Amino acid sequence: MPLCRSTLLTTMLVAKSLGFRAAPALRAARTQVTMAAMSADAIAEKCLVAKKASGLTYDAIADKMGYTNAYTCQLLLGQAQLKAEAKAKLQDLLPKLDKATLEAMSEAPFRGFDDDILKEPNVYRTYEAITHYGKAIKALINEKFGDGIMSAIDFYLTVGETTGKMGERRVVITFNGKFLPFIEQMADDNSAPSPQG
């Protein structure tokens, strides 16, 4: 029975970290992953070709899928998982997407980014705004909610547009994340304490 992609990748990473040489079974597993898995870049390339062929915008696809526009974009860039119940709908919207790509999109993705993205002016300016306002954002969250953070897992992101007083177009980026309070670590509440040597 073929192993799932995540199991194969985990096995390979553990073996590598422990310094094991690839045994025949592990080499076979690596071959299986290479053949079965599709990188986020490869998914993105196929999705963007299919999106262009469809003539649809991210907003149009998002509206028809019921997603936020940022999540839709993440999905097409290989940074979010395509759920089984949404696969047929996406295939209808982007008929150029092949079965292999849709299957790859259904796997839990390896989320991440290339450091070079921070050199891109659009991304750099957004990053700069977050870091510049970082202390103020933290102070306001703490004042309004208490000691904790905004989740980036239970999280919604949308990119929109408004018009300024002078008639200029303005970008509106909205972060909507669940508040996660830091806990007071009471020993009696710890359901899995470490053994005390």
Known catalytic residue at 128? yes
Q: Which of 27, 103, 120, 151 is catalytic?
A: 151
> What tokens does 159 get?
């990119």
Q: Which of 30, 128, 143, 191 is catalytic?
A: 128
Q: Which of 125, 161, 168, 184 is catalytic?
A: 125
Q: How far apart are the C-alpha atoms of 155 and 175, rounded to whole Å?
A: 7
Known catalytic residue at 151? yes
φ and ψ of 182, to 5 deg: -70, 140
Q: How far apart are the C-alpha atoms of 120 and 84, rounded to whole Å?
A: 34
Residues 125-160: b if buried by 16+ CB within 10 A, e if exposed: eeeeeeeeeeeeeeeebeeeeeeeebeeeeeebeee
Residues marked active site are found at 125, 128, 151
